[in-house]
Structures are given as C-alpha cells and as structure tokens.
Amino acid sequence: MYLGIDCGTQGTKAVILDADSGMIVGEGYAPHQVISLANGRREQDTEWWVDALILSYRAALSQAGISSRNIRAIGVSGQQHGMVILDKTGTVIRPDKLWCDTETSQQNVELLELLGGESGSISELGLVLATGYTLSKLLWLKQNEPVCFHRIAHILLPHDYLNYWLTGNIATEFGDASGTGYFDIRTRQWNLDVLALVDSSGRLAKALPPLLEAHQTFGTVRTKVAKLLGLDANVIVSSGGGDNMMGAIGTGNIHDGVVTMSLGTSGAVYACSAEPPLKSHPLVASFCSSSNGWLPLICTMNLTGAANRVRNLFGYDLEEFNRRAASAPIGAEGVTMLPFFNGERVPALPEANASLLGMHSSNLNPENLCRAVLEGTTFGLRYGLDLLRDMGIQANEIRLIGGGAKSSFWRQMIADTMNAKVICPVLGEAAALGGAIQAAWCESHNNGNPLGLADFCQRYVRLDESSVIDPSASSVEAYQQAYDLYRQRLAEAYPQA
C-alpha cells in the first residue's frame, strides 16, 4: 500500500493506493483554517497541517480497513510558494504565508524592478516573478518583521515541511523549488544572485535546502512519527512536490498533448514538456515538473471561491446554483463578471477588484449573475490556455480535476469555451493520487529496481469515460463571442492586462 497526502489551502486529503489491484482503497479529509485579513494576508499555522495530515490519514486507513503496517511509502503534495521558516533549533518561527497572500505585492514590484523588469526576470530565472512567490515573502518579512527575519536558519515550502515532520530531514525537489522565485528553471539550480536582492549577506543562501530529483527518496519516517501513525520503521518518504506537479502525475499528464485543468479554490492549467519551453511568455510559469521534466503552467486566483460567493449571496445550494446558471443564455445577456475578488495572477492584476459589467434593467437577475461568475472564471482559464497554445502546447484532451469538475454543466462550458475534449479522472483527488504514485516510483528506485513513471501512471491513473464531453459547434461560436466581449471589457477596465 502507498499513502498519498495533499496539503491544500482548504484542507488535507489522504488516499491509500493498493499496488496489486491498482485501486484506491481508502480516502480521508480534514479541513484547515485560514488567517485572512483585508490587506491581502493569507496565512496558516504549520501545526494545522500536521493535525490535518494525521486526521485524514486515520480516516483513510479506517475506510480501507487495513493494517497501517501494510503501507510501504508515502508521497506528499503541498500548496506551492508558501514560506515556512525555521530557526536553528528546527522550530517554526511564524505562520506560513500562503501562495494566495497578496500582502507582499509591493515587494514583488520592488524585486521585479531590481531584476530589470519581466525580461530581466526571464533572463535570470526562466520565468517572471509573481506576487505570491516565496521571494517577495522574504523581502516582506525583512521589511516588516526584522526580528523573525534574522532568526531564519531554514527556508522550506509547505510540502518540504511535512516531509521534515515525517523524516526529520531537510530538502526539497526541483518542481516545488521552481516556484520560489530564486530558482533557475533551466539550469535546475538555486539562483543565489536573485536571493541576494533580499539580503546580500549570504545568510539566506545558507538556509536553502539541498535539491532532490523527483525519483529520489526524501528519507524514512522517524521513529516517533512511525509510532504515532502505526507504521513500520522502514517506511520511505518520496521527494514529493507542489500540488500542481503532483496533480500532473495523478492525471497521467506526463506526455505531450494532455492538459490538466484544476477547478479548485484557484484555477490552474498545465501541460508536460520533456524540455524547457523555447518560447516564453511573462504570464506562463514554466516550472519544473515532479517527473523530471517541465510543467508550463498558468494559475488564476479566483475560481470556485468566486462562484461560492455568488451562490452564497442568494443562499443557493450547488444544485440550485447550477440550475439557475444553466437557465441563462450563453453570455448572460451581456452581463460580464471580472471575478478578481483576491486580485489576479493571470492576467497579472494583484490589486484588482471584482467587477460586474454590462448590467441594465432587463438583464439583472440571479440567473445571469450565476452564469456570469462561471463564465468569468472559465474565461480566465481560457486566457491562460491561449498563452500555452501560443507557446506550442497542444491541448488535444483536457483532464479536469477539483471540486468544480463535478458539475456536468461546468464541464460542458469548459469544453465549448476551450474547444477541446474534456474528461475527468476516476479519482478527483489527483494531487494525493500523484503523491501515492510517486511514492511507488521512488520506492522502485530505492530498492534498486527502477521503473519508469509512465508504467505507474498507466496502471494507476484511470479515466472516467462517462464524464467525456466533446465541444458543441454551435456553443463554441457563442462562447467565443462572449469571450471576445470579456476580453474587450477586461482591456477597458485594466489596459495593462
């Protein structure tokens, strides 16, 4: 058995994979709190992650009805870009600033200027710094909490911290490291010159963890944790990775032509590449993957969270919300929502606010508002997919994951808006499954009998053929018109987009 853990923004998921049957035999979930302030602060205590890991693991184990002694390896997926800082005793100094924290937007502007703008950032890192990356958090800490800053002995990412808790070791892997803002995605090395823009003393460079290849083992579970979880002493922990990288593994997105689209609190669109993309775009993050390749990716900050705001405004449950949205015509009779409740990353508008445009006396109704928020968030993903296509990425098939993928209405909207076939994996918790698959892959290398990751994905990633939706020609045209209006209104509201 292999345990996959996914520590997300809203909670932690756990899955147990039976290697013999290829089936998920147990699943568990535990929610997290989020420290959320009006100034854009989004933080969590690392203790919440540990508590949620334990609870979700025990729930999965109970559902599986197996002995914990059957588990041979663990793979951890974590939300990207977080800043977990430890002092010299290994103690967490302060709450983790999350990927969706926009309190550091001004620091990101400062750092981009120091790098020489977008072109300078691409030259140094292979991508453009974005608000939410770890680098701007470090500068914010130096400027706002200097006492905490000077205590830093180790800088980790969320999945690194959980691996540290499991094993007592400190390290990271290329995929998650590539979202820090001080890692060159082409050379796969820390860029210490960029890190020195925050502090030139060399202190931060000494706090960076060593780097692992995706197939390498992070370590074995330490005795105290093994006893707590009821595990054997020799259970290994894989390198792990960021949630998008592990989601790629969990959807079988490890070859050209497949695109994964995540409909969660945030939205993400990414595709696998065996080589670093030759053509770069400032809004595309060509991260390294957790499969020893690259993962060109765009991320939107507002997705199911935006939809839930409108749904809760009217007091609808999900079924009623979808029914209302489906009853409105494509284009919501001219109502357009720019759903930037948390600012936005793609397009790069970290300080933007949400807007409703095109309203008049005859089109302002709940149905159009429900459809407008779904269309607005979907159009943001289309904006990103077009950027990937411009870089030469093929989108023959879109594999949908996340809570929003459960809606057949939304799946059809995506198929028509993207003009591509859509299908869902059987297991929607793709990042947790990716963790379990990577654990099996790392174990094969650790045992001296290395197998290819494709072998594991072919065996364990299953697609739900009943979820397949092909685009409708008439709807594709109607959504194109609505999307064109969205782009027009976006440009009018934010000329820099």
Q: In what order do the strands lie in the sheet with 42-44?
A: 35-36, 42-44, 96-97
Catalytic residues: 243
Residue that finishes a domain, picked among 239, 269, 288: 239
The pLDDT of residue 126: 93
Is 448 inside any structural domain? no
Half-sphere exposure of 401 (CA within 13 A, CB side): 32
Is 244 inside any structural domain? no
Q: Which residues pair with 262 in a beta bridge?
A: 268, 401
Q: For residue range 161-219, what is the model confidence (pLDDT) as tens digits?
A: 999 999 999 999 999 999 999 999 999 999 999 999 999 999 999 999 999 999 999 99
In which region does residue 132 sit, left (phi positive, over 0), alpha (psi from -120 to 50) or beta (all else)?
Answer: left
The answer to whether residues 201 and 271 belong to one domain is no
Residue that finishes a domain, picked among 217, 239, 261: 239
The pLDDT of residue 198: 98
Residues 6+ apart with CB under 8 A from 433: 4, 15, 17, 24, 249, 250, 425, 427, 460, 461
The pLDDT of residue 453: 94
Is 442 inside any structural domain? no
Q: Domain of 474?
A: 252-428+462-497
Structure tokens, 427: 């297991």
Residues 6+ apart with CB under 8 A from 62: 26, 28
- Per the listing, tokens 């005795």 go with 223
The answer to whether residues 263 and 406 belong to one domain is yes
d(CA 150, CA 147): 5
> Rounded to whole angstroms, what are the CA distances from 277 to 115, 185, 392, 423?
21, 10, 9, 26
Amino acid making up residue 468? V
Residues 6+ apart with CB under 8 A from 206: none
Rounded to 10°, the helix 430-446/243-250 angle is 80
What's phi and psi for 24, nearest 5 deg?
Answer: -85, 120
d(CA 388, CA 336): 24
The pLDDT of residue 153: 98
- Per the listing, tokens 């595709």 go with 271
DSSP SS3 for 214 = coil
Rounded to 10°, the helix 117-125/105-115 angle is 80
Is 246 inside any structural domain? no
The answer to whether residues 194 and 309 belong to one domain is no
The answer to whether residues 29 and 70 belong to one domain is yes
The answer to whether residues 213 and 260 belong to one domain is no
d(CA 106, CA 231): 46
The answer to whether residues 196 and 81 belong to one domain is yes
Contact 98, 82 (CB under 8 A): yes
Mind giving me the DSSP string for 254-273?
Answer: -STTEEEEEESSSEEEEE-B
CATH code for the domain of 335: 3.30.420.40
Is 342 inside any structural domain? yes
Half-sphere exposure of 83 (CA within 13 A, CB side): 30
d(CA 162, CA 239): 11
330-423-98 Cα angle (round to 5): 85
Q: What is the total residue count of the chain?
A: 497
The pLDDT of residue 274: 83
143-146-148 Cα angle (round to 5): 125
| Regions in the chain scoring below 50 on pLDDT | none
The answer to whether residues 410 and 264 belong to one domain is yes
The answer to whether residues 270 and 198 belong to one domain is no
Is 451 inside any structural domain? no
The pLDDT of residue 265: 83
Is 441 inside any structural domain? no
To which H or E segment does residue 84 belong? strand 84-86
Give the residue from 299, 324, 57, 77 showing the smallest Cα distance to 176. Answer: 77
Rounded to 10°, the helix 366-390/408-418 angle is 40
The pLDDT of residue 496: 85
The answer to whether residues 220 and 323 belong to one domain is no
Give the residue from 242, 239, 259 showing the smallest Cα distance to 251. Answer: 259
The answer to whether residues 266 and 388 belong to one domain is yes
Is 456 inside any structural domain? no
The answer to whether residues 264 and 371 belong to one domain is yes
Contact 194, 182 (CB under 8 A): yes
Rounded to 10°, the helix 134-144/105-115 angle is 110
Residue that finishes a domain, picked among 239, 260, 294: 239
The answer to whether residues 344 and 222 belong to one domain is no
d(CA 229, CA 68): 7
Rg (CA), the chain: 22
Give me the number of domains the chain comprises: 2
> Strand locations in 275-427, DSSP E?
285-288, 294-300, 336-338, 355-357, 397-401, 421-425
The pLDDT of residue 446: 93
